[in-house]
């Protein structure tokens, strides 16, 4: 156990820090498969092919992201130990700002070691899927009753994941946050705070207070490129709010988006600095190298055509040419070419069939 993590119930309640091998084992998801299924009638085999979409092969990027998330959560909790005197002071500060109907920028914070990071990549490479699977390795809700003989009545939410609203609206993001907390903690904040006439400033203060109350470990915001649709400086306001969460509250924020989000993030220096606390992760499509071949070979065993189609360099290259290393397209293409072969009755496929199916 790392010394600075000891004596902190929020960190000690988390799973152990995993090695790379353990992460691979935890993330690996094999599709159900039996060679005997090749003898089934066509209509049944067509259903079996859809198991491919549940198949998941961990890659180097997945290990990197898990380690970043692991560090972010634990470092963010360092200064948010509920037994620190600052805990009660921060909660009282939040309620005072709410009562005075002040601005969320008036919230007082403490020195924080928290830092988030940004994941940018083309659509279909698996950014969202990877982060969701990694978050699922951690318990989302932990109920505390006591710690080392001391009373500790608290609900800890280790992570929350939201999608950035399509119009980049900060108010809609607040509503999504309330709903996510309700789902995770069994509360009813969404109904409570969407019915009344609350200003945006008040909603941001309430959201920040809930982050403190539930000791949320990490906040993931997906589809951040939607900020480009925000009007009237809305994108800057949302990014500034994320900076406040990190700087003031100590909540690590992870932003996920397509290449379209680059201009938005780079336009705000303070956000670029805080969003890159561990360095940005630019997730490019896979190259036609050893990693690609490992991915394809692992997937290749899942065949439901009557004839077994061998794994060859020609097949690997054809799949790469048509998918350009984008995992989502590669898996769908491999499924479609099998569906095509079974439907037409050829019960086998070639590299030319992959090109035609694409």
Higher per-residue pLDDT: 88 or 253: 253
Average pLDDT of the chain, as a whole number? 88
Provide the 8-state DSSP code for 289: S
Please report which confidence band the pLDDT of residue 20 belongs to, taking 50, 70 and 90 as the band edges: very high
Three-class DSSP category at 292: helix
Q: How far is CA 153 from CA 87, 198, 321, in A?
A: 14, 29, 56
Predicted local confidence at residue 106, as pLDDT: 65
- Is the pLDDT reported for residue 134 higher than 90? yes
Strands 117-121 and 253-257: parallel
**What's the average model confidence in pLDDT over 148-170?**
92
What is the per-residue pLDDT across 236-291, written as a single tens digit (0 to 9) for each? Answer: 788 888 887 887 778 899 999 988 888 777 765 445 455 455 667 888 889 999 99
Predicted local confidence at residue 272, as pLDDT: 47
**What's the average model confidence in pLDDT over 126-153?**
93
Name the most confidently modeled range: 177-181, 227-231, 259-263.
Answer: 177-181
Give the rounded distance of the alpha carbon of 278 from its chain centre: 16
Lowest mean pLDDT among 64-68, 179-183, 247-251: 247-251
Predicted local confidence at residue 233, as pLDDT: 67
What is the per-residue pLDDT across 30-39, written as a single tens digit (0 to 9) for each? Answer: 888 898 999 9
Higher per-residue pLDDT: 103 or 158: 158
- The two tokens of residue 356 are 């035609």
Nearest to 295 by CA among 315, 270, 275, 277: 315
What is the Cβ-side half-sphere exposure of residue 217, based on CA atoms within 13 angstroms? 26
Provide the 8-state DSSP code for 257: E
Nearest to 241 by CA among 253, 224, 259: 253
Q: How far is CA 68 from CA 59, 156, 214, in A?
A: 15, 20, 22
Percent pLDDT > 90 in the chain is 56
Please report which confidence band the pLDDT of residue 113 belongs to, taking 50, 70 and 90 as the band edges: low
Predicted local confidence at residue 235, as pLDDT: 79
What is the per-residue pLDDT across 293-321, written as a single tens digit (0 to 9) for each? Answer: 999 999 999 999 999 999 999 999 999 99
């Amino acid at each position: 156990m790392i010394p600075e993590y000891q004596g902190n119930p929020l960190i000690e309640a988390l799973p152990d820090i995993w090695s790379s091998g353990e992460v691979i084992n935890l993330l690996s998801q094999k599709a159900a498969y039996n060679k005997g299924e090749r003898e089934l009638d066509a209509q049944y085999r067509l259903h079996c092919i859809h198991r491919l979409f549940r198949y998941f092969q961990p890659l180097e990027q997945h290990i990197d992201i898990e380690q970043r998330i692991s560090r972010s959560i634990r470092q963010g909790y360092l200064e948010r130990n509920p037994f620190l005197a600052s805990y009660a002071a921060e909660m009282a500060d939040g309620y005072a700002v709410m009562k005075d109907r002040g601005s969320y920028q008036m919230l007082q914070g403490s020195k924080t070691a928290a830092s988030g990071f940004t994941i940018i990549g083309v659509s279909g490479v698996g950014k969202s899927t990877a982060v969701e699977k990694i978050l699922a390795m951690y318990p989302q809700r932990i109920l505390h009753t006591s710690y080392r003989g001391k009373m500790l009545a608290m609900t800890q939410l280790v992570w929350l994941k939201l999608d950035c609203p399509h119009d980049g609206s900060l108010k809609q993001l607040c509503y999504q946050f309330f709903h996510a907390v309700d789902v995770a903690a069994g509360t009813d904040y969404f109904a409570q705070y969407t019915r009344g006439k609350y200003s945006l400033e008040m909603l941001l203060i309430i959201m920040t207070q809930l982050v403190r109350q539930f000791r949320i470990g990490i906040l993931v915001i997906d589809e951040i490129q939607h900020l480009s649709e925000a009007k009237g400086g809305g994108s800057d306001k949302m990014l500034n709010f994320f900076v406040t969460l990190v700087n003031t509250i100590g909540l690590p924020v992870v932003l996920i988006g397509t290449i379209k989000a680059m201009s938005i993030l780079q336009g705000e220096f303070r956000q670029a600095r805080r969003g890159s606390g561990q360095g940005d992760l630019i997730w490019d499509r896979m190259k036609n190298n050893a990693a690609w071949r490992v991915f394809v070979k692992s997937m290749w065993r899942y065949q439901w055509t009557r004839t077994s189609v061998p794994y060859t360099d020609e097949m690997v290259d054809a799949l790469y040419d048509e998918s350009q290393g984008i995992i989502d397209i590669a898996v769908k293409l491999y499924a479609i070419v099998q569906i095509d072969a079974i439907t037409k009755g050829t019960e086998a496929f070639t590299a030319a069939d992959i090109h035609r199916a694409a």
